[in-house]
């Protein structure tokens, strides 16, 4: 049996990169041959617990070697990896576990309570805890899962590599994206999607085998995983895994390990440039800096140029694995504000409401096609039908984002058709937040809009109409959301109004709300 998927990557590197460092973390260093042995052990241990090809294995934790071990062990077995955002609330974790049908959940010990609470009502058969960080034992109820120690389970597994037939078109990951109409959708990323995205990164960023990539963004986000970790491992480079972003520590790690590559969002780069250690930090090893999430302000770009550094930009989404366009660092000033050119093996177009391709300078919906684009959503045929359009030249993903190309083929994002809010690199869809606020008995109507924020780029603001005869405060609205939604999704402010501006059909006019309350 031949494994053509991600599960074969580290196994091949075991020989071609023997003795070279694959991962550096708080747990120490792992060479490629050591990492391969641990992946085999975990894969066998999961198989002993009933994991078969196509079964889902979920992971809840920060950046840690166990994240990568679980990803590649699942790929070795032909199983499906389901990484979960650690900032989710228990009901959100529970939805992802239940919707995906995860058979096993691997979680870090500090998140044991979230793992146990989230698994209630889901058909998870096994819980493995990674003892890294300060443990927070869960308060268990009758019927809750007992936990096994991850390291003990892994150590007991056989080092013999399991055999499974895996093709590029087989499902590798389910990544949950914030829902535009309530519950999140599971984007189904195949082994081929992730492989071709890595090819795009290797070509467009000149990734080399001596790369030392500092992973400061969580790998449960597709940008960090697919634009950073996977291409570097494919080339045999080194990953430095950090569980969270701390500007001072990042500057110290860059100097200590001679880091060559790093990616983040505008807030990341702003906080680094504003840190007291910035002026004296040795950044001479850095050669690849990339930024996504939103356009990079000119003042931040200039701060890095003063240190002899340029930052490349990119645009994409979970459904494109995630790369769609890339702006090489050499053009960061010339095309400032642009999302860049289409990736090497990806096609991007802009179309009008009739589906006709727009000429340069004309705004339309951005659509993407290529081997890195998913084919469907997990158990969401209606969402799949709504998100893709069939054309004679193939299937195109409708991004819902509006933009235009300039005469050089550089893409500029002009608006977000779906009203998505991007806060510190996290995607927030107002519909989900609005549904949660609407559960309050005192709410007659609610709309959530994005407002500018110096630190996070933008944050949510709830505009609320209170029912006659009721009273409601900002504190009551925000406390209601605490524990129901991830904290980054909770609006930072609430505005109370007498009535909502509406269209003739009764829909709330969000442009009017942004104009009145978006400052």
- Provide the CA 424 distance to its chain's centre, in angstroms: 12
Give pLDDT tens digits for 353-374.
Answer: 999 999 999 999 999 999 999 9
Tell me 143's DSSP state: T
Closest of 123, 63, 126, 77 to residue 96, by C-alpha: 123
pLDDT at 289: 96
pLDDT at 503: 65
- Domain boundary assignment for the chain: 31-166, 423-517
Alpha helices in 388-438 (DSSP H): 430-438
pLDDT at 74: 98
Residue with tokens 């960090």: 224
Query: Of the given ranges (154-163, 214-223, 504-513), which has the lowest mean pLDDT?
Result: 504-513
CATH class of 31-166: alpha beta
pLDDT at 134: 82
Looking at every residue in the chain, the average pLDDT score rounds to 94
CATH architecture of 423-517: 2-Layer Sandwich (3.30)
User: Which run of H or E residues covers position 203?
Assistant: helix 191-205
Alpha helices in 2-138 (DSSP H): 9-16, 32-48, 65-77, 90-100, 112-119
Tell me how far CA of residue 300 lies from CA of 99, 174, 270, 273, 306, in angstroms: 41, 34, 6, 8, 10
pLDDT at 430: 87
CA 280/CA 277 separation, integer angstroms: 6
3-state secondary structure 209-228: CCCEEEECCCCCCHHHHHHH
Contact call for residues 198 and 293 (beta carbons, < 8 A): no
Give pLDDT tens digits for 237-249.
Answer: 999 999 999 999 9
Question: What average pLDDT score do residues 171-193 get?
Answer: 87
Give pLDDT tens digits for 407-444.
Answer: 999 999 887 666 788 899 888 888 789 889 988 989 98
Q: Widest CA span of the chain, in angstroms?
A: 73
Confidence band of 345 (pLDDT split at 50, 70, 90):
very high
Contact call for residues 80 and 193 (beta carbons, < 8 A): no
Question: What average pLDDT score do residues 207-223 get?
Answer: 96
Question: What average pLDDT score do residues 338-345 get?
Answer: 96
User: Which run of H or E residues covers position 254?
Assistant: helix 247-257
- Given a cut of 60, whether residue 293 has pLDDT beyond it is yes
pLDDT at 205: 94
Confidence band of 294 (pLDDT split at 50, 70, 90):
confident
- Given a cut of 70, whether residue 180 has pLDDT beyond it is no
- Provide the CA 192 distance to its chain's centre, in angstroms: 18
Confidence band of 506 (pLDDT split at 50, 70, 90):
low
Query: Of the given ranges (8-12, 260-264, 461-465, 509-513), which has the lowest mean pLDDT?
Result: 509-513
Question: What average pLDDT score do residues 105-133 get?
Answer: 95
């Amino acid at each position: 049996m031949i494994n053509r998927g991600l599960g074969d990557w580290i196994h091949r590197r075991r020989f071609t990169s023997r003795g070279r460092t694959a991962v550096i973390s708080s747990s120490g260093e792992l060479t490629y041959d050591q990492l391969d042995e641990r992946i085999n052990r975990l894969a066998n241990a999961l198989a002993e617990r009933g994991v078969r090809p196509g079964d889902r294995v979920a992971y809840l934790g920060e950046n840690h070697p166990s994240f990568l071990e679980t990803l590649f062990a699942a790929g070795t077995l032909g199983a499906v990896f389901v990484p979960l955002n650690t900032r989710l609330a228990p009901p959100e974790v529970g939805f992802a576990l239940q919707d995906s049908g995860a058979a096993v959940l691997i979680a870090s010990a500090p998140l044991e309570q979230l793992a146990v609470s989230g698994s209630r009502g889901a058909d998870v058969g096994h819980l493995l805890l990674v003892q890294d960080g300060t443990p927070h034992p869960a308060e268990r109820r009758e019927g809750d899962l007992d936990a096994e120690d991850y390291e003990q389970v892994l150590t007991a597994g056989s080092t013999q590599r399991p055999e499974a037939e895996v093709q590029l078109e087989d499902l590798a990951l389910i990544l949950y994206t914030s829902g535009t109409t309530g519950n999140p959708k599971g984007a189904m990323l195949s082994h081929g999607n992730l492989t071709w995205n890595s090819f795009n990164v290797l070509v467009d960023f000149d990734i080399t085998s001596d790369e030392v990539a500092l992973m400061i963004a969580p790998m449960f986000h597709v940008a960090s995983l697919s634009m950073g970790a996977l291409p570097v491992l494919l080339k045999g480079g080194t990953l430095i895994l950090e569980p969270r972003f701390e500007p001072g520590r990042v500057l110290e790690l860059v100097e200590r390990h001679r880091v060559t590559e790093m990616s983040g969002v505008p807030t990341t780069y702003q906080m680094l440039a504003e840190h007291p250690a910035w002026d004296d930090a040795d950044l001479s090893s850095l050669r690849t800096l990339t930024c996504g999430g939103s356009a990079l302000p000119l003042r931040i770009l200039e701060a890095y140029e003063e240190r002899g550094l340029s930052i490349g930009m990119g645009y994409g989404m979970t459904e494109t694995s995630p790369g769609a366009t890339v702006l090489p660092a050499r053009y960061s000033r010339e095309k400032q504000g642009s999302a860049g050119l289409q990736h090497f093996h990806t096609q991007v177009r802009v179309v009008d409401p009739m589906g006709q391709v727009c000429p340069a300078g004309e705004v339309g919906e951005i659509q993407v096609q290529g081997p890195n684009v998913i084919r469907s959503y997990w158990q969401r045929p209606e969402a799949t039908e709504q998100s893709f359009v069939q054309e004679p030249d193939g299937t195109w993903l409708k991004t819902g984002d509006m933009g235009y190309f300039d005469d050089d083929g550089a893409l500029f994002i002009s608006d977000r058709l779906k009203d998505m809010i991007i806060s510190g690199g996290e995607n927030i869809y107002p519909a989900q937040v609005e549904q949660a606020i609407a559960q309050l008995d005192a709410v007659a109507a609610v709309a959530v809009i994005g407002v500018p924020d110096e630190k996070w780029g933008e944050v949510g603001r709830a505009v609320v109409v209170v029912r006659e005869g009721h009273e409601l405060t900002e504190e009551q609205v925000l406390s209601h959301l605490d524990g129901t939604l991830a904290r980054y999704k909770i609006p930072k402010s609430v505005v109370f109004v007498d009535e909502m501006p509406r269209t003739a059909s009764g829909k709330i006019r969000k442009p009017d709300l942004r104009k009145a309350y978006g400052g």
